[in-house]
Amino acid sequence: MPKTNADPAKRASGARGGSHFDPGGNAAKSQFLPPRPISLRTLGDYLDLSPATISLVLNNAPGVRSIPPETRERVIAAAKKFDYRPSFFARSLRRRQSFSVGVLVPELSDGYSTLVMNGIEEVLIEEGYFYLTASHRRKADLIQEYPGLLMERSVEGFVTIDTALQHSLPLPVVSVAGHKALPGVARIVLDHRRAAELTLRHLYQLGHRHIAFMRGQPFSSDSDDRWQGLMAVARQLGLIVNPELVVQLEQNLSSPELGYPVAARLLSQKSPFTAVVAYNDISAIGAIRSFRDHGVRVPEDVSVIGFDDIQAAAFHTPALTTIRQPLNSMGNTAARMLLDRIRGGSQFPDEMPIVPELIVRESTMPPAAVKNRRK
C-alpha cells in the first residue's frame, strides 16, 4: 500500500508526465484526473515554509531581504524543479497593476519607429514592464479604436510614436513626435527650427543656392513643423525657394521607394538644382538611387541630405549626410516619463525638447561651379 506522505518531488514529476499531482498520494485515483499546476500551498508544504514567505521570494518583494539567502535559494530551486510560476493575474489584482503599457506606432517596418521602440524596450525591461504594440497604419478609425482595446487589456499608460491623437486618454500618455498639445499628454518634440538651420547652413556654406525640397506627407506629425522651420531659415539666409523645386511626398511607404519617383520628377523640371533636402533618410536613399538610374551622380552632380540618421544611413553608398535625431534616447526618455507618471511622479516636464545634430558624411559636397572657382 503506498504511503500517504510520499516524496512530493516524485509526485510532482509524475504530474509533469501527465498524471494529476495528488497531495494526498492517491495515485490510483490521480492517474485518471487532468493535470493541474502545483499550488503555492503545496510548494509550502514541501519546503515547510509559509506561502507568504515563498511569495515574497518568487515575487522579489521589498521584504525579501529579511529572508536568509539559503532559504531563498531553496525556494527558487524548488520552484524551478516543479515548474512553478507565480500567478501574474493574482499579483496584478493584489497590487492593482498590470505592469504593461501600450505603444501605438504607424507601422513596425519603419526605421524611425523601430529605433524609438528599441529605446522604450530597454527601459521597460529594466523596470519589469511588458508592452503591447499596435500599428495603426495612420488610419483614423484605428487610432481611435486601439487605445480602448489596449485599455481592455489593462495597460497602465501609452507611448505614441508619430501618432496623431485627436483627444486625451484616461491614462498617462507620452507622445514622441506628436505636435498637438492635449491635456494629460506629455510630449517629446524635436527642435525643428534648429534642425532646419543645421540643414540649410550646411548646404549654404558649401555654396549651394539652388536647392530642391521634399515636403513630408500630410499625415506625418513632423511635416508642418519641419517645413515651416526650413522656410524660416531659407528667408533668413536669403535663399529663394523655387516652387518648381518643391515636391510633395504622398505615399504611405517606409521604404526607399518613397523618394524614387519624386526625385525623377525633379529631374523632369526645367529648373536646375545642385542639392536636395529630403524629408527623411528613407526618401533620401530612394532619391539617390533614382538620380543614379538617370545618370546623375551623388554628390558630384547633386548633393543630398537626409533626416533621422537611421541605421542604414551610415552604410549606404554614398554614406548619407543627415540630421540625427537621438531616436534610441528619445525612446528611453519616453518610457521613463511614462513610468514616472504612472507612479504619480513629477520628475519630467510636460514637454521635453530634443536637440538635433548634423552628421556630415559622403552625400554632400560643394557644387561643381564652386569647386571649379576654388581651383
**Residue 86: its pLDDT value, please?**
64
8-state DSSP, 232: H
Q: What is the pLDDT of residue 87?
A: 60
pLDDT tens string for the chain (375 positions)? 433 444 434 333 333 333 333 434 444 334 433 445 677 788 888 899 987 788 778 777 666 778 899 998 999 898 888 887 666 555 554 556 788 999 999 988 767 899 999 999 999 988 888 899 999 998 999 999 999 999 988 899 999 999 999 899 999 999 999 878 899 999 999 999 999 999 999 999 999 999 999 999 988 888 999 999 999 999 999 999 999 999 999 888 888 999 999 999 999 988 999 999 999 999 999 999 999 999 999 999 999 999 999 989 999 999 999 999 999 999 999 999 999 999 999 899 999 999 999 999 999 999 986 554 444
Cβ atoms 11, 25 nearer than 8 A: yes
Can you give the pLDDT at residue 96?
61
Looking at residue 331, its pLDDT comes to 96
Q: What confidence score (pLDDT) does residue 228 get?
A: 96
Rg (Cα) of the chain, in Å, rounded?
29
Tell me if 112 sits within 8 A of 307, measured CB to CB. Answer: no
Q: What is the pLDDT of residue 36?
A: 56
Q: Which domains does the chain have, with CATH numbers?
A: 8-92 (1.10.260.40), 97-190+328-353 (3.40.50.2300), 192-326+357-374 (3.40.50.2300)
> Helix (H) and strand (E) counts for the chain?
14, 12
H/E run at residue 160: strand 158-161
Q: What is the distance between the alpha carbons of residues 75 and 23, in angstroms, rounded to a whole number?
A: 18
Please give the pLDDT value at position 102.
97
